[in-house]
A and B are shown apart, each in its own frame.
Chain A
Amino acid sequence: MSTMEILVATAEREVYSGVATMLVAPGAAGELGILPKHSPLLASLVPGELRITNGDHIDEVFISGGFIEVQPNKVTVLADTAERAADMDEAEIVAAQRRAEEMVESHKGDTDMAMAEAELAMLTARLRMLRKHKK
């Protein structure tokens, strides 16, 4: 089976590097499924999960947005922040989500509103991914 190289990096560090047979990424206009020999693609990403499949093995990485560059045999994900599912702490995320919800409540109509909502959406996406991962 043909494979492609995957590199997931944030400004601070390299989060994931390896080979894969398929990659699913949260594109701005919907999920992107990428197989080896895909034609060159450049897309912006929204908060969500990257699913990196290599044969039977699946790795999941949460990203909070960024860009994906696809070349026929190499995929580079330039993420704003990224975290592997195995490193996440559910309790922490739930607490952060509650804080974000409170912020949305108290800032109704405020200028901070958009930011608080974005944060909430991000946390919700993280939680969803983590719960799925645990099953």
Chain B
Amino acid sequence: MASAKEIRGQIKATQNTSKITKAMEMVAASKMRKAQDSVGKSRAYSDGIKTVISNLMQSHPEYKHTFLIPREEVKNVAYIIVSSDKGLCGGLNTNVLKAALTSMKDVKKTAEVEVLNIGRRAGLFMRRFAKIAGSVEEINDQPELAEILGVVNMAVEKFIKGEYDEVRLVYNTFVNTMTQQPTEVCLLPCAMPEDTAETRTGYWDYLYEPDSKVVLDGLMRRYVETLVYHAVLENKACEQSARMVAMKSATDNAKEIISDLQITYNKARQAAITQELAEICAGAAAA
């Protein structure tokens, strides 16, 4: 049996660890609230742009934007994978990367795959399986659109030039604090936003300035950017909540270990005393 002193050392170390995990849990909880806030705040813009685009589509059903036409032959597929920069957040990144990998396996049979990662974890993992074409790392806790524009624009340009035939987006959606769902959506060619426009009374169309194609083109780009930005925000909220839960269970585990160790320590201490007494008695008897 380990000596009482050794066990005391272990208890101390475990206590220190639990202090750290407790602190991390509380930090993650407050960051999670902020992250959820920014998801809510960004909704005004994305709802606005969705309404405008679906209005546009209804007045111009004949005009198909490049972003909307599925390619006949899909030879090159890009994956934009959103992950966290740091670990210690449970199975969050593993789940999203596994989901991406499963979907890539199917695609790889017929097409070349490239990866654009947002967040360091995805980059570290995916470079073993595919070519990394672009990456953004070290994203703020309150991400701004400008941070991710580089990667998104690159994917969009390559799609327009025909270097990519499809761009997919993989990220975690926030279901609740305990559950995060890995999600894959087709970014380009993009699915149309569901019909958010109020039921229309009769036919009407916008006046355009400077002209409808220019405006639509700009709007479609913004729409794609918004989708990715939204995914990043949501993934941030997931990251913080996953970290909070992981750190909570780490703290609980530490408490359990400490109480086990405490019992072992008491036993060891008693055993030592008993032995000492026995030795003294034996010594006295011999004398």
- A-side residues, CB < 8 A to B, are 7, 9-14, 17, 27-29, 32, 39-44, 67, 69, 76, 78
A78 touches which of B49, B212, B229 (Cβ 8 Å): B49
Given contacts A39-B207, A41-B207, A67-B222, 14 further A-B contacts (CB under 8 A): A11-B42, A11-B229, A12-B38, A13-B38, A13-B41, A14-B44, A41-B208, A41-B209, A42-B56, A43-B208, A44-B214, A67-B52, A69-B48, A69-B51
Tell whether B145 is near chain A: CB-to-CB under 8 Å. Answer: yes
What band does the interface of chain B fall in when counting residues whose beta carbon is under 8 Å from A?
A: 20 to 34
Known: A13-B42, A78-B45. A42 touches B215 (CB 8 A): yes
Interface of chain A: mostly helix, strand, loop or mixed: strand
Contact between A40 and B41, CB atoms less than 8 A apart: no
A42 touches which of B46, B207, B229 (Cβ 8 Å): B207
Name the 5 nearest CB pairs between A and B, nearest first: A43-B209, A42-B206, A9-B44, A13-B41, A9-B45
Contact between B45 and A28, CB atoms less than 8 A apart: no
Contact between A76 and B52, CB atoms less than 8 A apart: yes
In the complex, which residues 128-170 of chain B have their Cβ closer than 8 Å to any Cβ of chain A? 144-145
B48 touches which of A28, A40, A76 (Cβ 8 Å): A76
Tell whether B204 is near chain A: CB-to-CB under 8 Å. Answer: yes
Chain B residues within an 8 Å CB radius of A12: 38, 41-42, 45, 144-145
In the complex, 21 of the A-B residue pairs with CB atoms within 8 angstroms, ordered by the A residue number, are A7-B44, A9-B44, A9-B45, A12-B42, A14-B45, A27-B209, A29-B209, A41-B208, A41-B209, A42-B209, A42-B212, A42-B215, A43-B208, A43-B209, A43-B210, A44-B209, A44-B210, A44-B218, A67-B52, A78-B45, A78-B48
